[in-house]
Structure 1
Amino acid sequence: MAITDWHENDRPREKLLNFGPEHLSDAELLAIFLRVGVQGKSAVELAQDLLDHFGSLHQLLNADETEFCEAKGLGQAKFVQLQAVLEISRRHFESGLTKGDALTDPENVARLLQHHIGQQARETFGLVLLDQQHHFIAFVPLFTGTLNQASVHAREVIQTVLDHQAAAVILAHNHPSGDPTPSQADLDLTQRLKQALDMIDVRCLDHIILGDHGRWTSLAQQGHL
């Protein structure tokens, strides 16, 4: 049955307009993005097939161009559209931060970081740079790969802070394994960088570790800072 033959409250577009996007499933939201299905399948059915193929909406959104374009019902045009949507979302979120309140809530920091490193397949370390009032300046990724005392250089962290004239910083990295629990190496690295930043009178406010499915850990909340 075509979507046009469904009851109005069951059609994704009408459902979104009548009840809001939060009431739609992942498949329904994806169907609106796809706009049309394929022969024998509605857009919603195709969307569900794609979610099953990739494993989750998260995995679909993070697929590289080759993997994305090889899936039935997708292609380069859809890949370009999706990348544009994701970038618009990131810029919209960052615009609100630069004009809004101080960025001190770990949950808001974690949301920001999801746009930058939450989707990375490799461990990535970066800095959330803040001004004197703790307003957002920029996020700068610095290191990729296994993070330890040797791989993350304090001098590059300090140089980045000085280049942006930041007054405070939040350390951040992801755990591709999905578990945001800090390792001893994470704790040791945090203390070493905090000590280095203290020497130039820059506050290290937190270290956020991202996992999967929106999970994250704040070392400040755990009492490590």
Structure 2
Amino acid sequence: MKHFDKSDMEKKESFKMLLLNEENELIKVSDISEGDEIFCNIDAKKMFEEIFANNANAIIICHNHCSKNLTPSHNDNIQTKHIQSVCDFFDIRFLGHLIINLGGYYFMYPYSEE
């Protein structure tokens, strides 16, 4: 939570990415994009520039929901699947998608084709 501005968490969505090394140790927390109170458009180009520039081997993506509802939206599910597929293509481990608000969190595990 320290990487999110608590005073803004109920006003706008922010999207961040945790960059990890081979041992899943944190390299960096990257600010990817900000939106309004109901939507945050993910800048995929900026995401992958950050991954490659920092030689990350794995990522966890994270954004906040301004509402008290932590349930992933339809758009959250679509974007998560898309990011995971691009990570798979570049052999980057996608470890999940964390959705937070001031009251808690929800962790979306990577999708499996099985």
Specify the TM-score bucket, using the shorter chain as the normaliser.
0.7 to 0.9
Tell me whether 1:115 sits opposite 2:2 in the alignment: yes
Tell me whether 1:128 sits opposite 2:15 in the alignment: no
Residue equivalent to 1:155: 45
1:212 Cα shift? Answer: 2.1
TM (normalized to structure 2)? 0.85
Runs of 4 or more off by more than 3 Å in structure 1?
none
Q: Identity of paired residues, percent?
A: 25
Residue equivalent to 2:67: 177
Q: Report the 3-state secondary structure (helix = DSSP H, G, I; strand = E; otherwise coil) of the residue aligned with 2:23.
A: coil
**1:1-225 mapped onto 2 (5 Å cutoff):** 114-117=1-4, 119=6, 120=9, 121-145=11-35, 146-147=39-40, 151-213=41-103, 215-220=104-109, 224=111
Matched residue type, 1:128: L
Q: Distance in 1 between matches of 2:21 and 2:53?
A: 12
TM (normalized to structure 1)? 0.45
Matched residue type, 2:108: L
Paired residues in the alignment total: 106
- The structure whose residues are more often strand, as a share, is 2
Does the Cα contact within 8 Å between 1:118 and 1:174 map onto a contact in 2?
Answer: no
Matched residue type, 2:44: A
Does the Cα contact within 8 Å between 1:118 and 1:210 map onto a contact in 2?
Answer: no
Matched residue type, 1:207: H
Segments of structure 2 that go 5 or more residues without pairing to the other structure are none
Q: Distance in 2 between matches of 1:117 and 1:197?
A: 24
Matched residue type, 1:122: K
Does the Cα contact within 8 Å between 2:32 and 2:43 map onto a contact in 1?
Answer: no
Residue equivalent to 1:36: none
Q: Report the 3-state secondary structure (helix = DSSP H, G, I; strand = E; otherwise coil) of the residue aligned with 1:209.
A: strand
Q: Report the 3-state secondary structure (helix = DSSP H, G, I; strand = E; otherwise coil) of the residue aligned with 1:198.
A: helix
Q: Report the 3-state secondary structure (helix = DSSP H, G, I; strand = E; otherwise coil) of the residue aligned with 1:173.
A: strand
Question: C-alpha offsets along residues 52-74 of structure 1, whole Å, 9 cap, x if unaligned?
Answer: xxxxxxxxxxxxxxxxxxxxxxx
Give the greater-gyration-radius structure (CA).
1
1:199 Cα shift? Answer: 1.6
Does the Cα contact within 8 Å between 1:125 and 1:173 map onto a contact in 2?
Answer: yes
- The structure whose residues are more often helix, as a share, is 1
Q: Distance in 2 between matches of 1:200 and 1:190?
A: 16
Segments of structure 1 that go 5 or more residues without pairing to the other structure are 1-113
Q: Report the 3-state secondary structure (helix = DSSP H, G, I; strand = E; otherwise coil) of the residue aligned with 1:189.
A: helix
1:129 Cα shift? Answer: 0.6
